[in-house]
Chain A
Amino acid sequence: MGMDIERAADDESGGVAGIVGRRALQLVSAGREQYSVLVRTMYYVARGKMEGGVLARQMYEIGNRSLFLLTVVMGFIGTILVLQAGLQTRRVVPDLSMLGASYLELLVRDLSASIVALMLATRVGAGIAAEIGSMVVTEQVDALRMCAADPIDYLVKPRFLASIVMTTVLTIWSGGVSIVTGMITADVVFQVAPKTFWNLSLVHASDLFICLVKCLAYGAAIPVVSATSGLSTFGGSEGVGWATTKAVVNSSLAVIILNFLISSAGLIAFS
């Protein structure tokens, strides 16, 4: 049946209905591929057996090597957000004492996890797809299969686990960085004292819970989506480029859509 769908998706006829139908079939077969990689990864994770060294190396690749980028980006983000929010709020209400409280709430519930995930989707997603894609093109993945080692077990599983752990860790760190830069901006530009800024009255346990759910979901989605496009690479260096592009776009879209789903679910569940 899979063959039928793929053949129909490649068919180039039939007006508007044909285009819509073709797009839908492409979407279905892409979704099924994604799902299959996810399920097989989960299977190998559940089966246990893990080489610690491989996991540690992936954690270093995904976590430590993203640290500098994320620190810089989130530092700037904290400043921009407080600056824009302060400038706009001043137009409506002159009192900025709640600026810090609202900022911390927004940061915990959404922004720290989502912006970190968007940056990781570009950095880690592109990295995973480029690495696995190069392996596919140079037939290293086929060699793995020849050795009876499933590439999902050998390549995707360590990245999956490392990404889940490191997305959470990096979100906490980056949240801290943007709180500090936001606090400094509020103090320097709007004369809001750090003591007034550090107001956790609007941050509830439910916000922290949503943040953690987002970390887990993003951390799981990015490696699965990028590994799928890496494994489906074909052709030479052009194919690797295509796979990398697809990984970045699809994992960013996955982050945005998951963000919408989790945020709406949280809004409905906790209010």
Chain B
Amino acid sequence: MSTPLVAVAFSPFARARDSFMALAATIGEMGIVALRIMSRLWRLDLDGRELMRNMYKMGVKSLSIVVVTALFTGAIMVVQAAPIVKRYGAQQLLGWGAGFGTLREIGPLLTALMISGRVGANNAAELGTMTVTEQIDALRALAIDPVAFLVVPRFIAMVTTLFLSTLYADALALLGAAYAGQALIGVEPMTFYNGLVSGLLGVGDVMNGLVKSVIFGIVIGLSSCHFGLSVTGGAPGVGRAVNATVVASAAGIFIVDYFVSFILG
């Protein structure tokens, strides 16, 4: 039986419609997860010990990749700014250029991408494994609310981790930039720091990045919890869920970044 010509001609539209509906469904389900988390947070109904455990596992254990990423990112900022600095001989502007780039965009963005890769993916894998091995159902059978016990502590730990990591990464990236500037284009670290505090940058730039980091944390937390809890189909299903989590978080981070940048100005 051959497909009718009309169906073939409209199949790209049908596919676009299907993927749009799938996207809408995913966003809607994430919204439901968000509402559930909000309702438990409102009642302060969450497991304290699980919160501490996740804070340690997500925050402290991610420190090494945050450090490496931040130092290299700062150095890359300087390498990219080097031709402009050389062209105009504007050594005192290097601190300002690297500073605003790091504090407003690159610091929060790259930290969020790395944390989404490590913490978000890991969390989806963990929740996914619990779902496939029916541990979530077991919790429900014991009259323990899985959202209050598992999801809310992870969500809070993730947002906190990303906020603190961004603060830390901002400082380290600027340090990396200062010394990369000295090594690669011969700008003294003192000149760099002077450029940083010359008055062109303010607390507003730091706050801008930190507000972003909180919103990125919410995006990562929601997507990883949602995809983790909706796993079906054994080990390959967990792999697919992790994949979907990192893709959704990365795309979400960039899209949200646009709107936040636009609103905060």
Chain A residues with CB under 8 Å of chain B are 69, 72-73, 76-77, 79-81, 83-84, 87-88, 91-92, 102, 105-106, 109-110, 118-119, 121-123, 126-127, 129-131, 133-134, 137-138, 236-242, 244-245, 248-249, 252-253, 256-257, 259-260, 263-264, 267-268, 271
Contact = CB atoms under 8 A, between A and B. Distances in A.
A226 to B, nearest CB: 11
Contacts of B72: 256-257, 259-260
B121 A244 contact: yes
B94 interface: no
Among B124, B251, B265, the most chain A Cβ lie within 10 Å of the Cβ of: B251
Contacts of A240: 125, 235-236, 238-239, 242
27 contacts: A73-B250, A73-B255, A76-B254, A76-B255, A77-B254, A80-B258, A81-B105, A83-B262, A84-B100, A87-B265, A92-B96, A123-B247, A126-B242, A130-B239, A130-B243, A134-B235, A237-B128, A237-B234, A241-B129, A241-B238, A245-B117, A245-B118, A245-B125, A248-B118, A256-B73, A264-B184, A267-B79
Q: Per DSSP, are chain A's interface residues mostly helix, strand or loop, or mixed?
A: helix
A264 B81 CA distance: 12
B125 A91 contact: no
A72 B238 CA distance: 26
Among B82, B104, B243, the most chain A Cβ lie within 10 Å of the Cβ of: B243
B122 interface: yes
A122 B250 contact: yes
Nearest to B238: A237
Contacts of B237: 237
Interface residues of B, number: 57
Nearest to B261: A80
Contacts, number: 168
B92 to A, nearest CB: 11
A126 B248 CA distance: 12
A203 to B, nearest CB: 11
B158 interface: no
B122 A245 contact: yes
Contacts of B262: 83
Q: Per DSSP, are chain B's interface residues mostly helix, strand or loop, or mixed?
A: helix
B257 interface: yes
A110 B80 contact: yes
B126 interface: yes
B86 interface: yes
B136 interface: no
A124 to B, nearest CB: 10
Contact of B242 (A83, A105, A130): A130
Interface in B155-191: 184-185
Interface string B226-245: 00000000111111101100
A159 B86 CA distance: 41
A72 B113 contact: no
Contacts of B69: 252-253, 256
Contacts of B185: 267
Interface string B111-138: 0011011100110111011001100000
A126 B100 contact: no
Contacts of B129: 236-238, 241
Contacts of B122: 241-242, 245
A8 B190 CA distance: 43
A109 B100 CA distance: 20
Contacts of B101: 84
Contacts of A79: 258
Interface string B61-86: 00001001100110110011011101
Contact of A244 (B93, B110, B239): B239
B24 interface: no
B79 A264 contact: yes
B21 interface: no
A122 B247 contact: yes
